[in-house]
């Protein structure tokens, strides 16, 4: 980690070794390993691994909600308004339509892999959460990629399990990982003046709540359209200015 951070001190190194780029390639690596081991993993072992991963995701979400100085009013307003916006736009539906188009393309080539399920599940896991938000902000503001590097290792391991269960659709989630983390990094540079400590903390808590919802979906407890709540992660930037 330290060596990579030293390499990012130069402009060229910062581009090549940015957290978003590293995360992109490690998701591809993990997906490739998952495809390699897919046929050798019994179904009951895959189920066990998925449930175990869901519990780990639940732990990550729960630990992420304990931030100091949180104004619950900001969280409530963010989710109230963000959920309405997300539902009206239907982000969940848009993501699934994109995934289904990819699935149709592969089905034409003779594969029956459930690409859509893998793409959606992996995209939500890899792109929604405190580590994504905070890591991208740190990368954009200070050039510190340590959080995104740690997340990349976790995502690589998760991609192995996900791909062994869902198939090649997980590999395609590397694209939104690169776009979202890269976009957030650039956004952090642009809006740095208004990204107070309070705003970052509230964004992290909002993302962690979505991670908890995702873990409950993975365990089959709920069927929440988590993507439709993503706008709730961005609204604290506005509310923390006035509240």
64-120: pLDDT as tens digits: 888 888 999 999 999 999 999 999 999 888 877 877 776 677 666 555 556 777 887
The closest alpha carbon to 154, from 143, 162, 166, 144, belongs to 162
Compare 7 and 215 and report the one with higher pLDDT: 215
CA triple 203-4-64, angle to 5 deg: 25
The closest alpha carbon to 228, from 74, 75, 96, 55, belongs to 96
Which two structure tokens, joined as six digits, stand for 60? Answer: 């990550």
Cβ distance 74 to 220 under 8 Å? no
Predicted local confidence at residue 233, as pLDDT: 85
Which two structure tokens, joined as six digits, stand for 42? Answer: 């019994």
Q: For 17-45, give the secondary structure using H, E and C.
A: CCHHHHHHHHHHHHHHHHHHHHHHCCHHH
């Amino acid at each position: 980690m330290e060596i990579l951070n030293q390499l990012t001190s130069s402009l060229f190194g910062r581009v090549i070794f940015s957290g978003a780029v590293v995360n992109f390639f490690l998701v591809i690596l993990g997906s490739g390993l998952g495809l390699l081991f897919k046929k050798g993993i019994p179904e009951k072992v895959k189920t066990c691994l998925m449930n175990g991963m869901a519990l780990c995701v639940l732990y990550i979400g729960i630990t992420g909600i304990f931030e100091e100085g949180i104004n619950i009013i900001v969280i409530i307003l963010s989710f109230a308004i963000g959920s309405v916006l997300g539902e009206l736009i239907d982000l969940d539906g848009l993501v699934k339509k994109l995934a289904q188009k990819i699935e149709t393309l592969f089905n034409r080539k003779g594969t029956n892999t459930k690409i859509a399920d893998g793409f959606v599940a992996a995209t939500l896991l890899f792109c929604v959460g405190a580590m994504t938000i905070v890591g991208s902000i740190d990368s954009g503001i200070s050039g510190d990629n340590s959080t995104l590097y740690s997340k990349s290792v976790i995502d690589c391991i998760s991609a192995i399990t996900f791909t062994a269960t869902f198939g090649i659709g997980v590999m395609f989630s590397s694209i939104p990982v690169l776009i979202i983390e890269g976009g957030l990094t650039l956004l952090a540079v642009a809006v740095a003046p208004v990204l107070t400590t309070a705003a970052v903390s509230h964004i992290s808590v909002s993302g962690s709540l979505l991670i908890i919802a995702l873990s409950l979906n993975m365990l089959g407890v709920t069927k929440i359209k988590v993507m439709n709540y993503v706008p709730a992660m961005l609204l604290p930037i506005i509310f923390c200015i006035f509240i």
